[in-house]
Amino acid sequence: MKKNIVNILAVALVAVGCSTSQKATKVANVTTFKNSITPAELSKHLYIIADDNMEGRNTGEPGQKRAGEYLINEYQKNGISFPKGATNFYQKVPSEFMKRGFAPKLNDSENIWAFIEGSEKPEEILVISAHYDHVGMKNGEVFNGADDDGSGTVALLEIAQAFNEAKKQGVGPKRSILFLHVTGEEHGLLGSRFYSENPLFPIENTIADINIDMIGRRDTLHPNTNNYIYVIGSDRLSSELHTINEDVNAKHTQLELDYKYNDRKDPERIYFRSDHYNFAKKGIPAIFFFNGIHADYHQSSDTPDKIEYDALAKRAQLAFVLAWELANRPERIKVDRDGK
């Protein structure tokens, strides 16, 4: 009898140990989920998003709407829905909102949003953003915008898929994540401004914005390597955001983090030129990942065959592991700086 009790206890301890081990393995699977973001998948999506059929994805025009339909179909195929409180994947951005002086009138357009609800703090929202518009066509020539910002657009798809796989395996994010494809960036950061002024969730519940705009190429300042990324804005509002990004990069991706364009005296003023800025203006910590300017920027030659998909994957993986940390850490990151 005593021997049987001992045996039963031993089996129970083994079972508890196995259960604990499985939980630990699940937590550690951030690497597995990160590695699901692959050059092949990114390439597959980008050759469609930056195809001539999309006609350069100009704001509110048929090509951009076709690109939006592709994004929505991919989210639906992966079982990722639109946010709670919304009726579909579209946030309509009216033409009147985008009116600017004597500039040509833009058609009505849409931000596109997808959503993974947090398991423990669903009311706290992490936004991951990229603009899916480009400059359209000129003189019958298609400006495909493979890097700008097809690269960020497809990165969002892959990051969302990785988080969704984690959720299916029981280790989804503790905070909610809004994947926000914004329109009208090329005409003045219009879609992100519309969202920041008309948020689906209270803006004070947004813990941070990770913005991805051009991450598929290398610039002239890095001719011999693509193992880098420009990091912009991470230290403007939250010292924690800056430190966390450096920590997860050191642990998971080992990219060279280049802060050239984060210099307050940067003459290019890149910090003010992408969609994260509309979140930062609202006091939300924001970080912008960027590969720099190259010869094909805003040219018809910005095509998907020129993308360096290994670099695109690694940079998207950095955005993913940063988002993983921000979504799962015990406390939301603090705003401890003035934004200047």
CA-CA distances (angstroms) from residue 105 to 82, 109, 183, 187? 29, 12, 15, 11
Q: What is the pTM of this model?
A: 0.92
Mean pLDDT computed over 246-253: 98
> Under DSSP, is residue 269 helix (H, G, I), strand (E, B) or coil?
coil
Predicted confidence (pLDDT) at residue 331 exceeds the cutoff of 50: yes
Distance in angstroms (rounded) separating the CA atoms of residues 274 and 93: 18
Does 128 score more than 80 pLDDT? yes
74-115 per-position pLDDT tens digit: 999 999 999 999 999 999 999 999 998 888 899 999 999 999
Q: Which residues pair with 179 in a beta bridge?
A: 114, 128
- What value does the mean pLDDT take over residues 157-161? 98
- Cα gap 181→171, rounded to integer Å: 25
Report which of 178, 170, 172, 160 is spatially closest to residue 123, judged by C-alpha positions. 178
pLDDT of 316 over the 80 cut: yes
- Nearest-CA neighbor of 226 among 235, 236, 216? 216
Instruction: Return mean pLDDT, the chain.
Output: 93
As a whole number of angstroms, the distance between CA 179 and CA 253 comes to: 22
